[in-house]
Amino acid sequence: MEFPGGQEGLKGGWTVIQRRSQGNTNFNSSREGYKFGFGDPTEGQDFWLGIENIFRLTNAANVEPYTLRVELTSRIGGFRYAEYTNFQIEDETNNYKLVIGTYTGTAGDAMRTQNGTEFRINGGDHARLVYNSCDVNIQSGGWWINDCNHANLNSVHGITWDTQSDGSDNNDPITLARMMIKRKNL
Does residue 185 have a pLDDT over 80? no
pLDDT score, position 20: 92
pLDDT score, position 6: 42
> Which position has the higher pLDDT, 58 or 6?
58
Q: 136-160, pLDDT tens digit by residue?
A: 444 568 888 876 668 889 887 778 8
Domains of the chain with bracketed CATH: 15-183 (3.90.215.10)
Q: What is the DSSP letter of 139?
A: G
Q: Is 48 helix (H, G, I), strand (E, B) or coil?
A: strand
User: Which residues fall within 8 angstroms of residue 109, CB to CB, at 6 or more apart?
Assistant: 82, 103, 163
Q: Is 20 helix (H, G, I), strand (E, B) or coil?
A: strand
Neighbours of 83 (CB within 10 A): 19
Q: How confident is the model at residue 186 (pLDDT cuts 50, 70, 90)?
A: low
Helix (H) or strand (E) run with residue 39 in it? strand 38-39
> Which position has the higher pLDDT, 7 or 171?
171
Q: 1-51, pLDDT tens digit by residue?
A: 333 344 444 567 899 999 998 677 888 888 899 999 999 888 778 999 999
Which residues in 42-75 are b (16+ Cβ under 10 Å) and which e?
A: eeebbbbbbbbbbbebbeeeeeeebbbbbbbbbe
Q: What is the DSSP letter of 143?
A: E
Instruction: Give dist(CA 49, CA 140) in Å, integer.
Output: 18
Q: Is 62 helix (H, G, I), strand (E, B) or coil?
A: coil
Q: 89-136, pLDDT tens digit by residue?
A: 999 999 999 999 999 999 999 998 899 999 988 744 443 343 444 544
